[in-house]
Structure formats: structure tokens, C-alpha cells
């Protein structure tokens, strides 16, 4: 962990990146990859389902800020008592029956027993009746504009994961949140196939989670909740898939969703990661931006670029570091120099 590169290693990485960037993808193909980005990601999830990525059980170790402060302390106590230093997946969801029952009791208590779905959102029966009887909000103070008209409106702590994929962050988080009353998780992806994988999972429950299709690059597309209500936004290996020209606008829009004091947690590919150096000539779209064989794209950041983007969006740095790690595949006798950027930025109070 946190390897230091020698000057020779740094220079070698720069040379490899410069070499594989010499031949750029044709402009018409670049335009196609941009216009049809969702198609390529849908094909990715159609092919791999939820078998490609592992559950991110490291999230709470690197980003304890995901959870409300009191739940963080409880988790630490639970970990000490069970002699585990981190949440692992050996018995994932083995205790979920009990936790989900507690979550259901919380849901029923707060939503009057029984719920239904209207326009894709979950409401208690009284809310649903009000919406269906009076869909235009007449004589009701514009019902759809009131707090109870969006999922998670009764929550006191709200999290959004952008680019949820097949749920490799969603379900480790839900495993903890479903036993934490007052919390709610939103998760979105612009690949409809990914969102369907999340919603069809046996552990998905609309009582404490809302998964929806959303293109973060479309500024005109509204989120299913108001601005300035989120405590945490999780942005993990997502911004790198977006065209560099659009990144700043995406970050600006996400910053508006955070409440004052809210935190944006970021982790993504760093400059000269092994994945960047392995690209062959002809896969480079623009400087440090590449297309994979399956049509999906990836950008490799420096921590200064990350700082500039979030600072321009009005967020304050809490953490911003380069995480260099050495991974060894003993079977293939291959060493990989991994480089990631990990950052935490807060919206000023």
C-alpha cells in the first residue's frame, strides 16, 4: 500500500503513456462512442450481469463518512467485539433477515402500515390515494412538490451513489443501512440494464433504497428529489467514464444536491495506472482518455485535476491523495502498479 515510485519508474510510465497516445481514434468513431455510451454500458451489463466486479466491502474502511456518525461508532464497537477489522463478504447478508425485519418495522411505523407504488415511487396508502385522486395537486398545495412526494422524504440521512452499476456498493451499504433507522440510499446509473440488475436483486427493498436511471451529463434531467438534501454523494470509478469536457458540469450539478456540510466521496483511476499503460496504440481518444475494446471509456486523473474540479464547484478539500499500490498475481508472476486518486470534499456550512 502507498508505494513510492522511483524516478526511473515514473519516467518509464510517462514514456509508455506517450507511446500509446500517438495514434488517436478517428473523429467519427470518437463521436460514436460519445453518442452511444449508454449502449456500450448496457451491452457490458448484459454480458457480465453482476459477475464482473466484486462487492466493495472496503468502502467503510476508506470512507467511514458514508454512515451517520452514531452508526460509525456502533460499527467500530461491533467490529471490536466480533474481532473483525473490516466488513467482509464471507457471510454476506447472513444476518439480513433480522436486519430487514427491523427495517420493515421502521418503514411500517413511519408509513402507516402498507405501501404502494405510484409513478415509480413508494408511498404509504394515504399518500398514494391523495396522489391518484388529485394527480395535478389541485387544492393541495401542489402535492407533487411537497416533501412527501419523493422517495426517502421522511429520512434524516440520505446518500446518493452515482453510477451504481450492478450494485457492488449498494448492497454492502444496504447491509448496514437497513439496520439504521432514518437513513435512505439513492442509486442511479445511465445504463438501464445495470439499474434492473440492482432492482431485481433479492436484497433490494424500496423501503430504504431507490434505484433509478439517470444521465448525469444531462443538466436538464431532474433528480427524483430536491436539491440540498443529500448528506453524502459517492462517486467511485464513474467520473472517469465521462468525456473530460463534461466533467466540470457534472461535478457542479452534484454539488448542488449536497446539503451544507454534506460530503462528496471520490475514488477513480490515477495517471499512469497499469490500466493506462496497457492500452495499445489506436485506443487513445484524447490526452489520458481511452476507449476499451468493448466501447466503454476511461480517463486517468491527477490529484490536481480533481482538486480543481471540486474547488470550482464550491467544495472544500478534506482529503485528496494519490494511492499507489503494488498488486502481484503470483500465478501469472505479474506485478501491477495500481494508481488511484482518493478524495473527500465537503460543501461549506
Q: Render pLDDT for 100-153 as a digit per residue (tens, 0 to 9).
A: 344 444 434 443 434 433 333 343 444 334 333 443 333 333 344 444 589 999
Q: Where are the domains of the chain?
A: 7-74+155-347
pLDDT of residue 246: 95
Q: Mean per-residue pLDDT for 46-75? A: 80
Give this prediction's pTM.
0.78
Name beta bridge partners: 124. Answer: 115
Is-contact 21 27, C-beta < 8 A?
A: no
In our burial notation (b when 16+ CB lie closer than 10 A, e otherwise), range 151-172 reads bbbebebbbbbbbbbbbbbbbb
Q: Which residue, 267, 259, 195, is CA-closest to 232? A: 259
Assess whether pLDDT exceeds 90 at residue 21: yes
Is-contact 232 159, C-beta < 8 A?
A: yes
pLDDT of residue 79: 67
Best-predicted range by mean pLDDT (2-6, 14-18, 323-327): 14-18
Helix/strand/coil percent split, the chain, to 5: 40, 25, 40
CATH number of 7-74+155-347: 3.40.50.150
Mean pLDDT, the chain, rounded, equals 81
35 SS3 class:
helix
Name beta bridge partners: 24. Answer: 284
pLDDT of residue 6: 83
Is-contact 228 220, C-beta < 8 A?
A: no
pLDDT of residue 55: 78
Instruction: Locate 194 and state its grid cell.
Output: 445495470
User: Per residue in 218-257, pLDDT tens?
Assistant: 988 999 999 999 999 999 999 999 999 999 999 999 999 9
CA distance 123 to 147: 12
Sheet arrangement for strand 230-236: 209-213, 183-189, 157-162, 230-236, 258-269, 334-346, 316-329
Q: Which residue, 238, 234, 236, 210, is CA-closest to 224? A: 210
Amino acid at each position: 500500500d502507498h508505494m513510492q515510485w522511483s524516478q526511473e519508474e515514473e519516467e518509464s510510465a510517462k514514456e509508455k503513456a506517450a507511446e500509446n497516445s500517438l495514434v488517436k481514434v478517428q473523429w467519427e468513431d470518437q463521436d460514436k462512442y460519445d453518442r452511444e455510451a449508454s449502449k456500450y454500458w448496457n451491452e457490458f451489463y448484459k454480458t457480465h450481469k453482476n459477475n464482473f466486479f466484486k462487492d466493495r466491502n472496503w468502502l467503510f474502511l476508506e470512507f467511514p463518512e458514508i454512515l451517520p456518525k452514531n452508526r460509525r461508532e456502533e460499527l467500530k464497537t461491533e467490529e471490536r467485539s466480533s474481532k473483525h477489522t473490516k466488513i467482509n463478504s464471507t457471510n454476506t447478508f447472513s444476518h439480513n433477515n433480522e436486519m430487514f425485519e427491523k427495517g420493515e418495522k421502521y418503514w411500517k411505523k413511519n408509513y402507516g402500515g402498507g405501501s404502494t407504488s405510484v409513478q415509480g415511487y413508494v408511498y404509504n396508502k394515504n399518500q398514494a390515494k391523495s396522489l391518484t385522486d388529485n394527480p395535478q395537486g389541485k387544492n393541495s398545495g401542489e402535492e407533487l412538490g411537497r416533501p412527501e412526494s419523493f422517495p426517502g422524504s421522511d429520512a434524516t440521512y440520505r446518500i446518493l451513489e452515482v453510477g451504481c452499476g450492478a450494485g457492488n456498493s449498494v448492497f454492502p451499504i444496504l447491509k448496514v443501512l437497513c439496520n439504521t433507522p432514518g437513513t435512505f440510499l439513492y442509486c442511479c446509473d445511465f445504463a438501464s440494464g445495470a439499474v434492473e440488475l440492482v432492482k431485481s436483486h433479492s436484497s433490494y427493498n424500496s423501503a430504504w433504497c431507490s434505484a433509478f436511471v439517470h444521465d448525469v451529463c444531462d443538466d436538464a434531467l431532474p433528480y427524483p428529489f430536491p436539491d440540498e438534501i443529500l448528506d453524502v454523494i459517492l462517486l467511485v470509478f464513474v467520473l472517469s467514464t465521462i468525456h473530460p469536457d463534461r466533467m466540470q458540469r457534472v461535478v457542479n450539478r452534484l454539488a448542488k444536491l449536497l446539503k451544507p456540510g454534506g460530503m462528496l466521496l471520490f475514488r477513480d483511476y490515477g495517471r499512469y495506472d497499469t490500466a493506462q499503460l496497457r492500452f495499445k496504440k489506436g485506443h487513445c481518444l484524447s490526452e489520458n482518455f481511452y476507449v476499451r475494446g468493448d466501447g466503454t471509456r476511461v480517463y486517468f486523473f491527477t490529484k490536481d485535476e480533481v482538486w480543481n474540479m471540486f474547488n470550482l464547484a464550491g467544495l472544500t478539500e478534506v482529503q485528496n491523495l494519490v494511492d499507489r499500490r503494488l498488486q502481484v498475481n503470483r500465478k501469472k508472476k505479474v506485478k501491477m502498479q495500481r494508481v488511484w486518486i482518493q478524495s473527500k470534499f465537503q460543501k461549506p456550512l
